[in-house]
Amino acid sequence: MMQSARFCAAPLLLSTALAPAMAQADDVTPSERVSSAVLVRKGPSTDTAILARLRPGDSASIVGEVPGWYEIELVDGTRGYVSKAWTVAVGDGGATLAGKRYRVHIIDVGTGLAVFVDGEGFALLYDAGSQDDLHDGDENRVIAYIRAVRPDLTRIDHLILSHPHKDHLQLMPDVFRRFEIGHVWESGRVNKTDGYCHFIKAAMAEPGVRYHDAIASNTTRTVTFSGSGCNGSVTVRQGMMMDAVPVALGAGAKMNFLYRDARNYADPNGNSVVVRLDLGIKRVLLAGDAEGGERELPAEPPQARSIEAKLLACCAADLKSDLLVVGHHGSLTSSRSAFLDAVGASIYAISSGPYPYKRARLPDTEIVSELERRGRVLRTDRSDLFRANDDTASCELNPRKIGPDADETPGGCDNILVTISGQRIEAEYSNLAD
């Protein structure tokens, strides 16, 4: 669908994304005498704009109070005020698992992938790459985005590289410079490119980091690079092996490595680390560039040695998820129907941009159609220039985009925000500016 607006759509965050009916400590909910809704206002006054409505059964977190008003935060991060006359503060003495809140951000990096997960007690980044937006430092689009949504964040507890391709790792070395990194997880499959060289050097130089791969427990190996932009030998010290044991994240969350394989496949897509995040009672599947085989229609079964086939054979039940960050940017190489049946998600996020992969611009329309039959599809390329054939739908020159302003590169306007709160999972486009 084309947009008619010249710039990105206005923020779409003020939807129905309120917290679930289950109340936690320090929540507020409409009082019994409210029949329709309590207005959430921009300021502590009835003269200020209405931002949202809190209906009977809804609740929101209390973040402050002034005389006559509670300052609250909705599940999408919107802050506003509700009158104390129409609300009651409630608490159950401790947050329950079902009441935890997690935000999954699929950052619009142009052609590539970066997924930032902001949970209670942890922050996680799965990939940070781009084929067409290579600004670094504070202009790095991934860093700019994280700084916009979490200006207070200093540490990323888990950094996962799905596989060593530029569109998944190019923006990562900067992430080490900007944040303290707790754990690095990758398959261990080496790609002798400057990008991977910078990544592994940054990982090994990070103070206190714990590095994990799928090669063998407690190994030390030396990797030598001879690129023009990055070269020399790197000693890679592995800590705990990346294996099938779930990794505890923060409150009520864990990470499961469903596929990890360090073998030297001709195409590193075959090394894609497939991760399932259990965020409270909801599941998120991150497929990297995992494939089902050659470019085929989804109805074809996955080819025997593909990651999709291996996952169906070993652990189809483990694939069941609520959100799928779709494999290989929505390519016909991935998302076979049999695989999608096992995942059974209701929300599908596709990260893609205008840079062609072997002459194919992704996502493929057949994959988008297949996903749309199954649930809601959101994609990071909807404002990219090439789709509109003119600049009317472009955000390349939008002064309000995440990352470098008006930089004439794709990306930055169609970030996807999935918010999980107890039983609720809500997906919206998140068009913010840094």
Interacting residue ranges for Zn ion, rule: CB under 5 A: 165, 167, 269, 289
Q: CA geometry: angle at 249 spanning 13 and 21, to 5°?
A: 45
Provide DSSP, 328-342.
Answer: GGG-TTS--HHHHHH
Closer residue to Zn ion (CB): 165 or 198: 165
For the bound state, the minimum distance from the C-beta of residue 167 to Zn ion, rounded and expressed in Å, comes to 4
Closer residue to Zn ion (CB): 357 or 386: 357
CA–CA gap between residue 235 and residue 76 (Å, rounded): 43
Closer residue to Zn ion (CB): 112 or 302: 112
Closer residue to Zn ion (CB): 109 or 279: 109
For the bound state, the minimum distance from the C-beta of residue 353 to Zn ion, rounded and expressed in Å, comes to 10
Q: Are strands 122-128 and 114-119 parallel, antiparallel or unpaired?
A: antiparallel
For the bound state, the minimum distance from the C-beta of residue 47 to Zn ion, rounded and expressed in Å, comes to 50
Closer residue to Zn ion (CB): 195 or 252: 195
89, 21 Cβ separation under 8 angstroms = no
Q: Which helix (H) or strand (E) holds 194?
A: helix 194-205
For the bound state, the minimum distance from the C-beta of residue 357 to Zn ion, rounded and expressed in Å, comes to 7
For the bound state, the minimum distance from the C-beta of residue 165 to Zn ion, rounded and expressed in Å, comes to 4
Closer residue to Zn ion (CB): 72 or 290: 290
Q: Which residues are registered as beta bridge partners of 231? A: 226
Widest pairwise Cα distance in the chain: 72
End-to-end distance of the chain based on CA atoms, in angstroms?
26
> In b/e form, how buried is each residue of 243-263, taking b as 16+ CB within 10 angstroms?
eeeebebbbbbebbbbbbbbe
For the bound state, the minimum distance from the C-beta of residue 409 to Zn ion, rounded and expressed in Å, comes to 17
For the bound state, the minimum distance from the C-beta of residue 127 to Zn ion, rounded and expressed in Å, comes to 8
CA atoms within 13 A on the CB side of 131: 14
CA–CA gap between residue 390 and residue 102 (Å, rounded): 37
Amino acid residing at 381: D
CA–CA gap between residue 240 and residue 247 (Å, rounded): 11
CA–CA gap between residue 284 and residue 420 (Å, rounded): 10
